[in-house]
Amino acid sequence: MSGLLLRALRSALRVPAAARPLRTAAPRAAFAKELFRGALSKEEVFPYPEISNEELQEINQFVGPVEKFFTEEVDSKKIDQDAKIPPETLKGLRDLGLFGMQIPEEYGGLGLSNTMYARLGEITSLDGSIAVTLAAHQAIGLKGILIAGTDEQKAKYLPKLASGEHIAAFCLTEPGSGSDAASIQTRATLSEDGKHFLLNGSKVWISNGGLASVFTVFARTEVVDKDGQVKDKITAFIVERDFGGVTHGKPEDKLGIRGSNTCEVHFENTKVPIENVIGEVGGGFKVAMNILNSGRFSMGSASAGMIKKLIEMTAEYACTRKQFNKKLSEFGLIQEKFCFMAVKAYVMESMAYLTAGMMDRPGFPDCSVEAAMVKVFSSEGAWACVSEALQILGGLGYMKDYPYERFLRDTRILLIFEGTNEILRLYIALTGMQYAGKILTEKIKEIKKGNVGVALEEFLNKLRDSMGRKVDFGLAGDHGLVHPSLQESGKKLEENVYYFGNTVRGLLSRFGKTIVDEQLVLKRVADVVINLYAMTATISRASRSISIGLRNHDHEVLLTNIFCTEAYFKNNYTMAQLQKYAEENLDDCIKKAAKHVLEKRAYTCSHPLDRTF
């Protein structure tokens, strides 16, 4: 079924995509940042986001043909072995319109919402190489044109990118700059007549680098500040391979996602017209961050789609394989692994679609922190689940005749690309703490000015805490937002959120601006808030499911209560570690041990067979 036919199906529906409400409302408050204040913005997450019946019908028209293609036409084993996606498979992806999923219909794309894009991502993720190829093309490769391009740039480039006639790549990483994007050295020099830039430099590990006709490239440019000083700032460019001076190296031989094309891309005196600047000259770093921040949420649905397939395959084996005259499925340790995988899949799916629903609402909400949390939780959850699935299979899972080892290899990259999980944890924690810190600073200023109301509020809060405050955000109880079967999970979330706010306040008071250097502290802060968002997503989703009578809603409630109980106790322990002089905190010991190893560049303990006599 071609992309044209899919669009024809859409036009037959009662409410076409073009008729969706425009985003004209005022900006909405961000949910995740409020958690750092110990606040729960219920209206942002309850009830769980829904799409209309028309949109549901529309997405189902896409799901069938895409599932059929991936089931019948995609040979993942061959793609992995040959380290290449066959031309006929790429053609099939083009015919389905999958290169233009989020490009507006006016430019020849499918114009899918974030929710619809996430749903198709569940299917495309069944082949890691294809998933990366499509994501590198549209989630980052052409995203700069979509979110910051001019009307002329969109009209010129998007139609051929939507059809897949042209493939896009995102060129940011360099040999000397990975996570530190601001340290890139590729340079673009403005010509004397001011009509074009000369681009020179090299980029590494570029997905689609050998396939792309259009590149989003980031380079240093000279910018004159308001005070007349010349400074180096990063600028984003649309670069065509046909501009000349663009070459690429051989495809990298990778551990996983082997069929995706990854290579070095070199630019030598490449002439880029001035009109191909994305956004403003010197505004490229912001463009890069906006591109990366906007696409991470889809890793949740993609990972969940893969794990759900993995559960099906592994459960079939566990229910038929016998050892000690019992099926594997009857052993408690095997059952624990299936519960673990089901919980992880449910949580990441809940987080992904909650975030997608928030992004699809009017008002241009800033969901960058939520998207980063989805990416961290889902990538680590996927890696853990694939490992558990392979363990269930035993030796069979280790063999290349079966797909499990390929899933393992393909999944490992998820913790690294689109922002390493270490960097994203720092981003999550620092962004939220900066938000909370500004509000705290304003309150302190008001108290110093003699604002009695603010001072009294602070005093009463501390008094209530010292007397054992009962936390109530309106989730539980007779008039609460959560279903009665989720009351205990709701209470645990409320308590965790409130004391997380207190913990953040204590850390800001203790460290001040030096908090940016306390990475082990920030990691724990991020871990707690990720769990809080995950608890929120599952409670909201399960409440909706049981309230409207979805099938197996009792199973959703069970998975939610399991996760929330485990997360609650983990959060409490982590927040205890963050207290001053906490016995649970071993940060100083960890740093001391690591410093010794790194100074010696070796493991220095004497061998157990050594002797002194």
Active site residues: 418
Number of residues assigned to the chain: 613
User: Among the residues of 83-232, which ranges form H helices?
Assistant: 87-95, 114-124, 128-135, 143-148, 151-163
What's the token pair of residue 425? 């944890």
Q: Are 524 and 578 in contact (CB under 8 A)?
A: yes
> How far lies 543's CA from each of 46, 391, 494, 560, in Å?
9, 33, 16, 10
Q: Are 41 and 34 in contact (CB under 8 A)?
A: yes
558 by DSSP, 3-state: which?
Answer: helix
Rounded Cα distance, 496 and 38, in Å: 9
Rounded Cα distance, 399 and 412, in Å: 18
Query: Which residue carries 């993609």 as its tokens?
Result: 302
What is the distance, to the nearest Å, from the Cα of residue 195 to the centroid of all Cα atoms in its chain? Answer: 38
Query: Which residue carries 């002329």 as its tokens?
Result: 152
Rounded Cα distance, 9 and 569, in Å: 49
Q: Provide the CB-side half-sphere exposure for 161 (13 A, CA).
A: 34
Rounded Cα distance, 567 and 528, in Å: 8
> How far lies 198's CA from each of 156, 214, 239, 402, 494, in Å?
21, 17, 11, 49, 56
User: Among the residues of 361-451, which ranges form H helices?
Assistant: 368-393, 404-411, 421-448
- Torsion-angle region of 139 (φ positive above 0: left; ψ -120 to 50: alpha; else: beta): alpha
Cβ neighbors of 407 (< 8 A, separation 6 or more) are 128, 306, 310, 386, 389, 390
Cβ neighbors of 443 (< 8 A, separation 6 or more) are 454, 458
Rounded Cα distance, 563 and 557, in Å: 10
Q: Are 80 and 258 in contact (CB under 8 A)?
A: yes
What's the token pair of residue 60? 């189902």
Q: Are strands 214-224 and 230-240 parallel, antiparallel or unpaired?
A: antiparallel
What's the token pair of residue 532? 């809080």
Rounded Cα distance, 14 and 61, in Å: 13
Rounded Cα distance, 541 and 482, in Å: 10
What's the token pair of residue 449? 């000015």
